[in-house]
Each structure stands twice: as C-alpha cells, then as structure tokens.
Amino acid sequence: MRKIYLFFLLLCTQFFFAQFTENDIKFWVGTGSKKAYFIADFNDNNSPRSYAWGYRFDADGLKAEDMINDIISAEPKIQADIPSGYLYSFTYNHHTPSTDDSWIPWTGSNAQNMSNDNYGAGYVDLTDGLWFGITYGIDQIDTPPSTPVPAYASDWYTSSQITNWIGTGNNQSLVVIDFGTDNTNGNANSFVFGIKYNGNITAEQALQLIQSQTSYFSFTKANHQVSNLSLNTFSGTGNWKLYKGNDLSSWQQKADLNQIELNNNGWLGLSFGERRPFTPTEANNATLSVSSVDKKSFNIYPNPASDFIQIQSPENIIETNIYSSLGQKVMTSQEKKINIKSLNAGVYWAEIKTKNGSTVHKVVKK
C-alpha cells in the first residue's frame, strides 16, 4: 500500500511540474499592470510545435486581436492576417500552415484549462489573466493547444554582436552552447561562437573547427550524439540536445549530429537540459574562466540605482555589458557613468571588461 501511495505521489508531482505558467514565459510585449497570454499551436511535425508569449497592458476595451497585433509588431518573424476579427493566416519562421484549413480559437484561465471559443480574436475581450490560444486545423476543434515552449525573440542575439570569428571563408554561422541557468548568480550560462567557412559544414565539422582553434573547448561524440562537452570551467556529460535554426526564435530539435548541416547564416544549438539554447554571451577565455581582474578594485554606485550607475576603478574599462536576470544583454557602454533609466526595475548583472579580463557585478535597478 505504501508503494502504491508513493507511486501516486510521484505521478502527481511530475504532473504539477509539467504545468506551463506565467513564470515560464520569456518574451513579454507591452507595459502595464495587467497581463494576458497568447499560445499558438501549429499542430505540425516540427519540434516544438506550440509557443507562448506574454502581454502587459493597462488600457480597457482591448481585444485579443490587439494583443496578437502588438506581438507581431515586436517579432518580425511572425506574419498574420486577421480580417474582420477572425484569424485567417498565421506563420512563424518554419511554421507555414496553408490557408486551406482553419485556426481554432481557445480561451481559459491557464494554459492547461482552455475551452473552445466560438468568437474570433477581434471579439474576445482582453482581461487580466486571460489565456488566448489558437490551434491549426478544423480536425483539432476538440483538442486545446498543447503544452507550449516559451517563445524567444529573434533579435535577442545576432551575428553582428560577434567580435572574434573562428575560421575563414565566405559563409558564417553561430554555434550556441547552453549549460542551463545557474540560479546562484542569475547568469544564463549560454555561450556562442562565431565560425566562418566555405560551402556547407556539418554539425560535427563545426564543433571540430572550434575545438581545433580554441584551447578551452572540447567535445566527444558517441553514436552520432554529443556525449561530453566542456567550455573551460563548464562541462556536461550526456543528455546534450541538438538544435538547428537561423536565430533564437527558430530552433528545431534534431535527433542526432547527422541531421544537421549548416549553410550561410545557419545556427547550431546544443543544450544540456530541457531548455532550448537561450540568449548567449560570446565565448572566450576571459568570460568563461575565473577572471584575472581583482573584483575588489571595482565599485559601482549608487546601488540600488534609479537613473545612473557610476563605475569606479583604477583600470581602463573597454566596455560594460549589462544583462537581465535571464541572461539577455540589454545594454552596452564604454563609459564609466551609465544611464539606466530605460531599464525596468529588477536585478541585473554588469560585466566589466578590461585588458586584463572581466568581472561581473550585481546591479539593482529601483
């Protein structure tokens, strides 16, 4: 009897942690004290097939259509047509359903409790806490949106941010390696290499190129899987998931290394855990290792701050990068006095770079 009880408890615990909630959303659009949520389930053979965005607002009288249109404005990879309030077409990266079938609307109080809605996006009132979803295909009229993944923004990281390229050639790609969030310091622990080459390159060749030209990266493979990977002080053995895309918003999970071939501007992603590769910082020996800079020689004041922070240091500062608690770079400056008025209140991390290395400091915005 005790074994049965423990088994039931385990099942309940797994179900509880499988729920998708507001806390899982990464891509927020708008400002305000009210929140609503949008799920798009393409019901196709791609992995993932369902995504979620968050929406903040204050105005009254808004409809679900207003939320969708604002999300479209914030993400150029989405194309949609909502004539007369009814969603006619919706495409996102490689998800391109035809217009021969219909989009079914859903509403609910959470992602797991949604009911079919007979009204279109232009007729559903946007209320605080509303979850609005769409599923593609009239045959899905009785099936609510599947559990989504949090959508990422395509412009959170671009190749223009790479400062040091590995290899030579006319084509270029990014390789993002995600070790998962380190909750002890708030960093995402996701890193990126920029590589250059001619023609096409396989995923394995891309990793071999990085390994051949850097002393702080190594990997091994077995049965077409990455079995071990290390980046200086970071490492992961087993359970590496593989992804291919063109930016952070378009990751598609792939079964093994043989399924991935990169051409110009293609991205390779590796994730140690369930998260798709998240917003990275550029991988180099200085940012990945224990910094040679004496952290005590830096002082950031005031902290907390509302308008400006001042960096006090005897060293010449090359640049300061400020990251959100999720690892997204939100600001870069070469000055010792930095205007942070545009940042939302919360915890941030300031990475200060000098010729001797880099160091990271916690900054609180009031």
HSE-CB for 128 with a 13 A CA cutoff? 8
Per-residue pLDDT tens digits for 122-160: 999 999 999 999 999 998 889 999 999 999 999 999 999
Which residue range(s) make up the domain with 221?
159-282
pLDDT at position 18 is 64
Which CATH number goes with the domain that contains 207? 2.170.130
The CA-atom distances, in angstroms, between 61 and each of 58, 86, 116 are 10, 18, 22
Band of the pLDDT at 5, cuts 50, 70, 90? very low
In a shared domain, residues 125 and 222: no
Cα–Cα distance measured from residue 191 to residue 187, given in angstroms and rounded to the nearest whole number: 11
pLDDT at 212 over 80: yes
In a shared domain, residues 138 and 164: no
Band of the pLDDT at 290, cuts 50, 70, 90? very low
Per-residue pLDDT tens digits for 230-263: 998 888 998 899 999 999 999 999 999 999 999 9
In a shared domain, residues 266 and 163: yes
Both tokens assigned to 9: 């408890």
pTM assigned to the model = 0.76
In a shared domain, residues 58 and 143: yes
Residue at 287 is within a domain = no
The mean per-residue pLDDT over the stretch 205-231 comes to 93
Long-range contacts of 42-46 (CB under 8 A, 24+ apart): 42/92, 42/95, 42/97, 42/136, 43/135, 43/136, 43/137, 43/140, 44/95, 44/97, 44/136, 46/94, 46/95, 46/252
In a shared domain, residues 237 and 129: no
Cα–Cα distance measured from residue 139 to residue 105, given in angstroms and rounded to the nearest whole number: 13
Per-residue pLDDT tens digits for 17-39: 469 999 999 999 999 999 999 99
Residue at 125 is within a domain = yes
65 class by beta-carbon count within 10 Å (0-12 exposed, 13-18 middle, 19+ buried): buried
Cα–Cα distance measured from residue 121 to residue 88, given in angstroms and rounded to the nearest whole number: 10
Band of the pLDDT at 280, cuts 50, 70, 90? very high
Question: How many domains is the chain partitioned into structurally?
Answer: 3
Residue at 15 is within a domain = no
To which residue do tokens 């090359």 refer? 318
pLDDT at position 351 is 81
pLDDT at position 325 is 63
